[in-house]
Amino acid sequence: EVQLVESGGGLVQPGRSLKLSCVASGFTFSNYGMNWIRQAPGKGLEWVAYISSGSSYIYYAETVKGRFTISRDNAKNTLYLQMTSLRSEDTALYYCARHPPSSYYFDYWGQGVMVTVSS
Amino acid sequence: DIQMTQSPASLSASLGETVTIECRASEDIYNGLAWYQQKPGKSPQLLIYNANSLHTGVPSRFSGSGSGTQYSLKINSLQSEDVASYFCQQYYDYPTWTFGGGTKLELK
Give per-residue pLDDT as tens, A10-26: 999 999 999 999 999 99
What is the percent of chain B with per-residue pLDDT over 70, rounded to a whole number? 100
Contacts A112 to B, Cβ<8 Å: 43
Q: What sign results for the dihedral spanned by CA atoms B94, A59, A22, A27?
A: positive
pLDDT value of residue A112: 98
Mean pLDDT of B61-83: 97
Between CA A16 and CA A22 the distance in angstroms is 21
Q: Which residues of B touch A95 (CB under 8 A)?
A: 43-44
The 10s digit of each residue's pLDDT in A62-96 is 999 999 999 999 999 999 999 999 999 999 999 99
Average pLDDT of chain A, as a whole number: 97
- Give the model confidence (pLDDT) of A35-63 as tens digits: 999 999 999 999 999 999 999 999 999 99
Confidence of residue B47 (pLDDT cuts 50, 70, 90): very high
pLDDT value at residue B74: 98
Query: In B, which residues are within 8 Å of A47 by CB distance?
Result: 96-99
Q: Do A47 and B98 touch (CB under 8 A)?
A: yes
d(CA B48, CA B73): 8
For residue A102, the model assigns a pLDDT of: 86
Spatial CB neighbours of B108, under 8 Å, sequence gap ≥ 6 = B12, B13, B14
The pLDDT assigned to A101 comes to 87
Neighbours of A95 (CB within 10 A): 23
Give phi and psi for B81, each to the nearest 5: -75, -5
Chain B: residues touching A (Cβ < 8 Å) = 32, 34, 36, 42-46, 49-50, 55, 87, 89, 91, 94-102
Question: Measured between CB atoms, which of A104, A109, A111 is closest to B91?
Answer: A104
**Stretch B43-56: mean pLDDT, rounded?**
98
Q: What is the sign, positive or negative, of the torsion defined by CA atoms of A65, A38, B26, B34?
A: positive
Angle (CA) A44-A47-A53 rounded to 5° is 145
